[in-house]
Structure 1
Amino acid sequence: MNARPKRIAILGGTFDPIHEGHMALGQRFAHVLALDELVLMPAGQPWQKSGVSSPAHRLAMTRLAATELARRLAATTNENATPDAPVTHVSVGTDEVERKGNTYTVETLQAWRPMVGADASLSLVIGADQLVGLDRWHDWLHLFDYAHICVEARPGFDLTNVSPAVAAALAQRRCDAEAIRRRPCGGIFIDQTLDLPISATEIRDLAHRGLAYGAKACEHVPDTVWHYVRDHHLYED
């Protein structure tokens, strides 16, 4: 009997800082897609953003979060995935922080496809706010040549908010989690389980005020990440 193709998902973001919303997102898709590997990938210099913390700091925080996420996944029982669901390996991708200049997701996925193999299920995990503006991403339709797009939307998210171009892609490509697990690329899966009202901007503000008052923890970020923020005096200005 041939081994089934691997299931890999990439959860990218500025991660400035990586927070409990990202952790919940990773846990949810590790379970529902029965992932073999979840890759946390901090952006290098996102072309749509400016003024972010250095890649070195964001990469270090991502590595701390990956260790904690792996621990949580190993400790939980998978209630939603298929019976052959593995314990998901959590890794950190350095592709984008090592790339010079602006980074584009389509180029990252294009590089990953030959690495994982033609038959592997490769998914990109995003939030609903990113889905709404997906057609503004660089070369966005070619994302589907290399991966699935898996979206976490709040319960009751209104899909009429998306642009006509994205709506057309949804009509053609929307599928369930089982199809994502079985196919290499090309689908869109929308999960409406989590409600994640956590903002990195608010966390940076909390960090600034928390550091000023010597707070030893922040409920919105893993403890190890908060300690890193404190030790390196991030977000103090």
Structure 2
Amino acid sequence: MSQCIALLGGSFDPVHHGHVALAALFAELLQPDQLRILPARPWQKSSLQASDAQRVAMLELAFSRQPFEVTIDLQEIERGSATYTVETLRGLRAELGDAASVVFLMGADQLQKLDTWRDWQELFALANLGVAARPGYALDQDKLPPAVASALAGRLTSPAEVRAAAFGKVCLAHTLAVDISATQVRNALGAGKDTGTDIGALLPPQVLDYIQQHNLYKS
């Protein structure tokens, strides 16, 4: 059987429990041979508050104690400019060959705006998608942009079938109950104790320690 590589990309500014939970969910569902975390310089976000080195350090801390192994893939940062997922997947497909199952992981919030991504329809010719529901973000076809719903039609299948396919398939996971955004985390950190939010419930403790030690996300 060909290898299965699962990819989780994002700005991770900062990495939080939602990211770790999404990775853990698909590590269980897909049993990939490798799970790569790809910190990005995303074109859709104008500024990042943490430096590249800080974001990578927080990722290493967040995933160091998980029961599954991850690789922090720095190619998008090393490219040195704003990144597009389709470009990264083209490079990975060239690296891994035509037979490997490549599964790009995302939350339902990203799926709902997939049609704003560069060359987004080409993604299905390069990889499979693994999409996790989040509270407040429905995965029902009628809740998606029509173009995205149309692209998904006929592609939806089980995690096992996604793992066996090189590209073009989509599996939806409805069991991710974590609803955290990096914006929510940054706002809570900036407000400090005044927010009433339990910041420890949003972040792995070692990441929170790092943020406090480096005085990050202060308003």
Same fold by TM-score greater than 0.5: yes
The answer to whether the 8 Å contact 1:66/1:92 transfers is: no
Deviations 1:151-198 (A, max 9, x none): 001476433121111111111322211111111111111111112211
Partner of 2:45: 49
Percent identical among aligned pairs is 42
**Structure 2 counterpart of 1:81:** none
State how far apart, in whole Å, the 2-side matches of 1:92 and 1:62 are. 8
One-letter amino acid of the structure 2 residue matched with residue 99 of structure 1: R
Is residue 66–residue 91 contact of structure 1 (8 Å, CA) maintained in 2? Answer: no
Within a 5 Å distance, the mapping from 1:11-90 to structure 2 comes to 11-44=8-41, 46-53=42-49, 54-69=51-66, 72-73=67-68, 89-90=69-70
Report the TM-score when normalising by structure 1.
0.84
Equivalent pairs, count: 215
Alignment CA distance shift 1:171-1:224 (3 Å): same
Structure 2 counterpart of 1:169: 151
- The structural deviation recorded for 1:212 is 8.7
The runs of 5 or more residues in structure 2 that have no matched partner are none
- Provide the rounded CA distance (Å) in 2 between the counterparts of 1:208 and 1:169: 40
Gaps of 5+ in 1: 74-88
Question: Which residue pairs with 1:219 in the alignment?
Answer: 201
TM-score by length of 2: 0.91
Q: Please, which of 78, 84, 87 is the counterpart of residue 107 of structure 1?
A: 87
AA at the equivalent of 1:141? Q
Q: CA deviation at 1:94?
A: 0.5
| Post-superposition offset of 1:211 | 7.6
Aligned-residue RMSD, C-alpha: 2.1
Q: Secondary structure at the match of 2:61?
A: helix
1:15–1:211 distance in 2 versus 1, CA, 3 Å: farther
* Correspondence 1:236 to 2:218: yes
The alignment partner of 1:102 has SS state of coil
In structure 2, C-alpha distance between the alignment counterparts of 1:194 and 1:160, rounded to whole Å: 20
Equivalent residue of 1:151, what SS? Answer: strand
Q: Is the 8 A contact 2:134 2:179 kept in 1?
A: no
Which stretch of structure 1 is more off in the superposition, 181-190 or 204-213? Answer: 204-213
**In the alignment, what sits opposite 1:199?**
181
